[in-house]
Amino acid sequence: MAEFLDQDIKFLPGVGPKRAELLFKELQIRTFSDLIYYFPYKYIDRTKIYRIAEIHAQMPYIQIQGKITSFEIAGTGPKERLTAQFADASGVIELVWFKGVKWQKDNLKTNCEYIVFGKPSVFGGRVSVVHPDIELADDQLLKPTGLFQGYYITSGNMKQTYVNSKTINKLQLILGNLVKGKIPETLPAYLVSRLKLMPLEKALITIHQPENPNDLKNATFRLKFEELFFIQLKILSVKSNREKKFKGFRFEKVGFNFNTFYSQYLPFPLTGAQMKVIKEIRRDVNREIQMNRLLQGDVGSGKTLVALMCMLIAIDNGFQCAMMAPTEILAQQHFRSINRMLNGMEVSISLLTGSTKKSERVKIAEGLENSSIQILIGTHALIEDNVIFSNLGFVVIDEQHRFGVAQRAKLWQKNESIPPHVLVMTATPIPRTLAMTVYGDLDVSVIDELPPGRKPIQTMHYFENRRAQVYNFLRQQIEKGTQVYIVYPLISESEAIDLKNLEEGYRHITEAFPDVKVSMVHGKMKPAIKDAAMQAFKNGETQIMVATTVIEVGVDVPNASVMVIESAERFGLSQLHQLRGRVGRVAEQSYCILMSSYKIGPESRLRLDTMVRTNDGFEIAEVDMKLRGPGDLEGTAQSGIGFDLKIANLGKDGEILQLARNVATDILNNDATLQSDENGVLRKNLQKIKSTEFDWSSIS
Ligand code: ADP
Ligand code: MG
């Protein structure tokens, strides 16, 4: 039976070889199944028929029923158009065509009853409908009344050959009639009845031709649940297989280094949340199962310290550690701050980045081999094949959504006997739904508490007309002894133009603040020069730092308490939040000032308002995801997880996702390999899910 849906789409009545080729080329629809899983992106309520007398130009869509009373072709050449007078008992409205004039005229008749659907507009002072959908009222195939009509995305190439949303609609109707009784259920019967799910076949037909809103809701729920459920089942079963297949190092003891650090070198008391997370990790690394844990915590919540203390446990158990950061600046900063915190202890730490000199690399290679290096900090230079550890036991990835599964996996392979424990730290909180999917194979720890004594950052949004006041404010703050960041966006694709913007900004600032010392950094500088500029700011030799987003990640200058973001409307929310996190690290009041032009769209407005309203990174992450939609989630592209959602939306379907995850967890807890008869259908369908890219068990 399953083969029915696997048939080539060219065999569907109304398709044929030519259209089949087009459908495949434009929409990757090759089989009946591909078509039926090609869902509408919206529905228009076509249950209502309006009277012409009630129509006005502000209505988004109208549907009317009546007859054409007369035609006229007016104008010539490109201005040629066909107008038809369309009447019902209440009045007359004009229908207008600018394209396909002759074809329309030959096909439309004056004595037939039509149903017209379209968007009213004002034309020559009168309400008219341009390029309406027009169908014979008794066209049974389209059944335009009593339906919520689905709209499908089609490409420009398709429209040129008159294959549009309506065509897809008709094909779905034909297919829907053919498939009855031929689509096997993919979920076990106990699940369908317990969750009161619409059967798959009914859902697949209903989603294209819903008869009422309630059916549509149930069909949508069933299909979203199914989609998310199989992803969860896949992720969780891969995870459980992995845990069975790979042993992990057992860090039995908390020893000299950890204890010495804790009792003598810890610069401040740990927060409750830091303590909680260290305990969670401590438990993980003592189980002989490889740890894969995601550590989430807002900017400034103190993730680095947690990572460091866990590395000390690894060292106490005789293992080496690696810590990988997304940028050179951040790697250097980790290197410095960890060196500083461990100053006085005998732990050996090295730094490896793209700009590490050859001679230094040779030394590092030696140190890794003879185990004299205990912590290696660096950029993705760490994952290169020629970096060979003698006994790597613990890996920290400070990830900022920049490393994918494949890169994470490469670090695993750095210990041939048993893979090291892995702690992934995200620099920005990620929405719950994303954590469950893109990072769904990881356990999650959350630091939900900031170190004490920090005042919430005050955020303000100003337009250009307030610039003078903003500068006065900056002057006051600098006189009080604090420091200021001024960040410029990358505006164009061209680095030269961006640099010019930044340099102009720098000149402007030095003119506006003649008696203040100003530093500048950007991505194109030589590392040594950039470093010197950073250092000067950090040491308090300069008071203003003009920069591009190179300072976005992790840079720590506690004395800086004002962040000005120029053209803030051009930044994404998570980036704004990251930037704001550079200040607010001391007890004094910190400020974030968002400067924008007057002309900002509704989405930019919402981003800026959200920043002004809240400091909570998790809340910001949720808004960000709702704004950007599922297609553009940071991390999904790089994650390497081979799923692409057809109907569920990670921005909106958090509850269904949570349900799907809970159900999948329950099922696997009772039947880890899905061997029972009633779960046979799950075992079979799970195998169909594309898994090549995120199947960790393929690494051996
Ligand atoms: P993030 O989580 O953003 O990586 P960091 O690890 O850079 O945060 O820590 C931010 C700042 O907070 C650093 O200056 C760090 O020294 C400080 N810090 C970390 N933990 C504590 C604590 N328990 N009490 C006070 N300050 C802390
Ligand atoms: Mg950090």
Residue of minimum CA distance from atom 1 in ligand 1: 300
Region 341-369: mean pLDDT is 95
**Which residues sit opposite 88 in a β-bridge?**
91
Contacts of 105 (CB under 8 A, 6+ apart): 71, 73, 82
Region 536-549: mean pLDDT is 91
Tell me how far the alpha carbon of residue 303 lies from the centroid of ligand 1, in angstroms.
Answer: 7
Instruction: Tell whether the model's pLDDT for residue 363 goes beyond 60.
Output: yes
- Please give, one letter per residue, the 3-state secondary structure of 568-609: HHHCCHHHHHHHHCCCCCCCCCCEEEEEECCCCCHHHHHHHH
Yes or no: say if 204 and 223 are a contact pair by the CB < 8 Å rule: yes
Among 445, 432, 405, residue whose Cα is nearest residue 624: 432
Among 617, 579, 608, residue whose Cα is nearest residue 428: 617
Yes or no: say if 251 and 311 are a contact pair by the CB < 8 Å rule: no
Residue of minimum CA distance from atom 20 in ligand 1: 302
Class of domain 458-614: alpha beta
pLDDT band at 543 (very low <50, low <70, confident <90, very high): very high
* CATH classification number, 47-143, choose in 3.30.1010.10, 3.30.230.10, 2.60.40.10, 2.40.50.140: 2.40.50.140
Residue of minimum CA distance from atom 16 in ligand 1: 302
- Please give, one letter per residue, the 3-state secondary structure of 630-642: HHHCCCHHHHCCC
Phi, psi of 662 (to 5 degrees): -60, -45
Region 6-10: mean pLDDT is 94
Report how far residue 291's alpha carbon sits from residue 307's, in angstroms, rounded to the nearest whole number.
Answer: 14
Instruction: Tell whether the model's pLDDT for residue 144 goes beyond 50.
Output: no
- Identify which ligand lies nearest to the alpha carbon of 429: 1
Instruction: Tell whether the model's pLDDT for residue 190 goes beyond 50.
Output: yes
Closest atom, ligand 1, to C-alpha of 268: 24
Start-end of CATH 3.40.50.300 domains in the chain: 256-447, 458-614
Tell me how far the alpha carbon of residue 300 lies from the centroid of ligand 1, in angstroms.
Answer: 5
Report how far residue 424's alpha carbon sits from residue 408's, in angstroms, rounded to the nearest whole number.
Answer: 9
Per-residue pLDDT at 160: 80
User: Which is higher by pLDDT, 160 or 506?
Assistant: 506
Report the chain's mean pLDDT, rounded to a whole number.
87
Residue of minimum CA distance from atom 10 in ligand 1: 300
Question: 3-class DSSP state for residue 430?
Answer: coil
Per-residue pLDDT at 2: 53
Per-residue pLDDT at 552: 56
**Ligand 1 binding site (Cβ under 6 Å of any ligand atom):** 268, 270-271, 274, 297, 299-305, 451, 554, 556, 558, 585
- Identify which ligand lies nearest to the alpha carbon of 302: 1
Token pair belonging to 538: 């950090």
Closest atom, ligand 1, to C-alpha of 558: 14
Tell me how far the alpha carbon of residue 575 lies from the centroid of ligand 2, in angstroms.
Answer: 14
**Which CATH number applies to 256-447?**
3.40.50.300
DSSP 495: H
Tell me how far the alpha carbon of residue 196 lies from the centroid of ligand 1, in angstroms.
Answer: 48
Per-residue pLDDT at 535: 86
pLDDT digits (tens, 9 = 90+) for 45-86: 777 889 999 999 888 889 999 999 999 988 888 888 899 999
- Please give, one letter per residue, the 3-state secondary structure of 33-97: HHHHCCCCCEEEECCCCECHHHCCCCCCCEEEEEEEEEEEEECCHHHCEEEEEEEECCEEEEEEE
- Identify which ligand lies nearest to the alpha carbon of 278: 1
Report how far residue 545's alpha carbon sits from residue 529's, in angstroms, rounded to the nearest whole number.
Answer: 14
- Identify which ligand lies nearest to the alpha carbon of 331: 2
Pocket test for ligand 1, best of 296, 304, 586 (most atoms within 8 A of CB): 304
Tell me how far the alpha carbon of residue 553 lies from the centroid of ligand 2, in angstroms.
Answer: 7
Per-residue pLDDT at 558: 85
Residue of minimum CA distance from atom 17 in ligand 1: 302
Pocket test for ligand 1, best of 343, 556, 618 (most atoms within 8 A of CB): 556
Percent of the chain predicted with pLDDT > 90: 56
Closest atom, ligand 1, to C-alpha of 269: 23
Least confident segment among 64-68, 151-155, 412-416, 454-458? 412-416
Residue of minimum CA distance from atom 11 in ligand 1: 300
Sign of the CA dihedral running 118, 119, 120, 122: negative
pLDDT digits (tens, 9 = 90+) for 400-427: 655 666 666 777 778 777 899 999 998 7
Report how far residue 267's alpha carbon sits from residue 281's, in angstroms, rounded to the nearest whole number.
Answer: 21
Instruction: Tell whether the model's pLDDT for residue 631 goes beyond 50.
Output: no
Pocket test for ligand 1, best of 262, 268, 294, 447 (most atoms within 8 A of CB): 268
Tell me how far the alpha carbon of residue 271 lies from the centroid of ligand 1, in angstroms.
Answer: 10
Per-residue pLDDT at 406: 67
Tell me the whole-structure pTM to 2 decimals.
0.71
pLDDT digits (tens, 9 = 90+) for 555-600: 678 899 999 999 999 998 988 998 998 898 777 899 999 999 998 9
Q: In this structure, which amino acid lies at residue 345?
A: M
Token pair belonging to 71: 């035609």
pLDDT digits (tens, 9 = 90+) for 296-320: 988 888 999 999 999 999 999 999 9
Start-end of CATH 2.40.50.140 domains in the chain: 47-143
pLDDT digits (tens, 9 = 90+) for 641-685: 445 688 988 778 889 999 999 999 999 999 999 999 999 999 998
Tell me how far the alpha carbon of residue 303 lies from the centroid of ligand 2, in angstroms.
Answer: 6
Tell me how far the alpha carbon of residue 307 lies from the centroid of ligand 1, in angstroms.
Answer: 11
Instruction: Tell whether the model's pLDDT for residue 92 goes beyond 50.
Output: yes
- Identify which ligand lies nearest to the alpha carbon of 338: 1
Tell me how far the alpha carbon of residue 454 lies from the centroid of ligand 1, in angstroms.
Answer: 11
